[in-house]
Amino acid sequence: MPDKVTQPAETNAQRLLEFLSKRRDSLSPLLILTHDYPDPDALAAALALSYLAQEYFNIPTRITYGGVIGRSENKAMVRILKIPLHKIRPEYFKKYRNIALVDTQPKFKNNPFPEKRKASIVLDQHTYTVKPSADLSIVDTECGATCVIVAEALLLQGDPIPTRVATALVYGILSDTLDLYRAHREDVIKTYLAIISHCDLKSLAQIQNPGRSRKFFATLQRALNRAIVYRRLLVSHLGVVESPDLISQMAEFLLTYEKVQWSFCTGRYHGRLYVSLRTSLTNVHAGDLLRSIFDNPRNAGGHAAIGGGSLRVANEASEELWQEREKMIQHRLFRKLRRSVNAKFQKPFQGGQT
């Protein structure tokens, strides 16, 4: 019989397990840090890494994040699965000698990791402009979701995976791969199928269909009212938002409009203009495209179909300055996608044009 072909996710999982085994004493305790405003993939990767480190290698952990948990689904995920999250504090960086970054990297601007610090572990799926400085760096840009790396490591252990951990991993994979539509590798599909047998489907359904706040519907109304379309590109400037992850949620929703291939949303939050780019095309890299229109490429990132970033404006900025920044980033995107900045846009959800 031919030898077994080792798949990328399994190879990365083996590297993670070997590192935890060899460094179990020196890694203890381990601070796990997600990106700011963590999404389901980041939350699942952090929870699974925490369980793996503690259960198999006796490494105490603490899961931390910056920003807020704003999206209704993410709040439900944390509540229902009882994910032990802690808001990051400056003193944690002094207290913990070992830090693992999940779904982000040291040089990315979407986390508070100290500039000159070296990470112990980096697990991520996003393309980097500067190679991560870490004792163990696993960046798999084709895995579909960062939590796939940790899921495969748990599967290699051969033991039943706790229901709440498996449910988090299933939701993390589904949310980042658009229900597996963006999962292009066979080993990623196999990992998902192996994990789902341990999942609580009732809890998963509750997470995917949470109750939503009035502010969510107000934001959705603004997104539709302000949407403009030109040559398969939809843009909507949302103004002030309750949390930055609402911007990505609106971009994902607006991409389902049958006449577009790109959706681009911006929102104002605490003195920064946050942007989210989505595409249904498979031969482009939204993260790279978004980096190319930022003055500082480190302020943006993403992967194939997903891009996000932010730029500083000012807490007390005038309405004119906000609009100027929104128009600037919109024009840069239009030029990159070879659309005319002076085009006559359609307002598809108002029945008019501008």
pLDDT value, residue 351:
58
Rounded CA-CA distance 143/151 in Å is 11
* Cα angle 238-240-246, degrees, rounded to a multiple of 5: 65
Q: What is the pLDDT of residues 36-90, one digit of tens each?
A: 999 999 999 999 999 999 999 999 999 999 999 989 999 999 999 999 999 999 9
113-135 pLDDT, tens digit per residue, is 999 899 999 999 998 878 999 99
pTM: 0.87
pLDDT band, very low/low/confident/very high, at 354 (cuts 50, 70, 90): very low
Q: Are strands 262-269 and 272-279 parallel, antiparallel or unpaired?
A: antiparallel
pLDDT band at 182 (very low <50, low <70, confident <90, very high): confident
Name 191's Cβ contacts closer than 8 Å, sequence gap at least 6: 9, 148, 151, 152, 155, 173
**Percent of the chain scoring above 70 in pLDDT:** 97
Which H or E run contains 85? strand 85-87
CA dihedral 74, 75, 76, 79 (to 10 degrees): 120
